[in-house]
Every structure is written in structure tokens, then in C-alpha cells.
Amino acid sequence: DKEGRSQSTADVTLSVATELLAQLRIMQKEQLQAWAEERRSRLEEREARLAAEAAREADRQALIEKREAREAERQEADRQARAEERKEREAERRAAEASREADIQARAEERKEREAERRAAEASREADSQARAEERKEREAERRAAEAAREADSQARAEERKEREAERRAAEAAREADRQARAEEREARLA
């Protein structure tokens, strides 16, 4: 009886173990299917996330490229504006320099004209001074000639007076000699 019961217990145990093993296999298969389903779902979700992320990255790159294009356009416009500004400043600088040069030349011409006028006035004053000097020399020569004429006339009159005085003295001497001769003749006749 003990062996029979042991055999029966063993059979029951084996039957239970077999059933449990079958249930375990069913459970493992269901778990594997559930895991595979969950894994496939996670993979699909991951692929969807990756696709969405790739779309977002593409959008982000497109925005970046658009911003870069706008920035490049802005920089180009800014560069052109700065170039135009430089050209305008250069044109203004050249115009100012040309104006300064023209002003310098005008002042130089004005200085030359004033110098020419000054020299002309100085030459006119010099000519006038020389004319007045010549006039003074002529008047001095005329004065000296008149003075010499007056001196010659005075000397001529003095010579004339001397000659008349000599003639008067000679006549007086002749009369005196004649008087003495007549006196002597009278004295001789009286004697």
C-alpha cells in the first residue's frame, strides 16, 4: 500500500508539474507575445518620435537657413549701404578738398592782383616822385640860370658904373689939368 500511495502521489505530482509546466509555457508564450507586442509598439512609437524629431529638425534647419539667408541679405544690404556711404563721404571729401583748393587758388590770385596793384601804385608813386624831382631840377636850373643872369646883369651894371666913374674921373682930371694949365698961363702972363 505504501508503494501504491507513493506511486499515486508521484503521478499526481508529475501530472501537476506537467500541467504547471504547460501553464508556464502558455504564460511564457503569452508574455513573449505581450513583450513582442509591447516592443513593436515601443519601436513604432520610437520611429514616430524619430520621424517627428526629423521633421522638427528639418523645420529647424529650414528656419536656420531662412534666418541665415535673411542675415546674409541684411549683411549684404548693410555692406552696400556702407559702401554707398563711403562713396558719398569720399565724394563730399573730394568736393570739400576741391573747394578748399579753389579757395586757395582764388586767394593766391587775389594776393597776386593786390601785389600787382601795389607794385603798379608803387611804380606810379616812383614815376610821380621822379617827375617831381625832374620838375624840381628844372626849376632849380631855371632859378640858377635866372640868378646867373641877374648876377651877370649886376656885374655888367657894376662894370658900366666903373666905366662911367673912370670916364667921370678922367674928365675931371682933364678939366683939372686944363684949369691948372690956364692958371699957370695966367700967372705967366702976369709975371
State pLDDT tens for residues 16-66.
Answer: 778 877 887 888 788 888 888 888 998 999 999 999 999 999 999 999 999
pLDDT beyond 80 at 15? no
pLDDT beyond 60 at 14? yes
Q: How confident is the model at residue 191 (pLDDT cuts 50, 70, 90)?
A: low
Most distant CA pair in the chain, distance: 268
Q: Mind listing the pLDDT tens digit for each residue in 120-142? A: 999 999 999 999 999 999 999 99
Q: What's the CA dihedral at 154, 156, 161, 165 to 10 degrees?
A: 140
pLDDT beyond 50 at 99? yes
Percentage of the chain with pLDDT > 90? Answer: 69
Q: What angle do CA 111, 117, 122 make, to 5 degrees?
A: 125
Q: How confident is the model at residue 2 (pLDDT cuts 50, 70, 90)?
A: very low
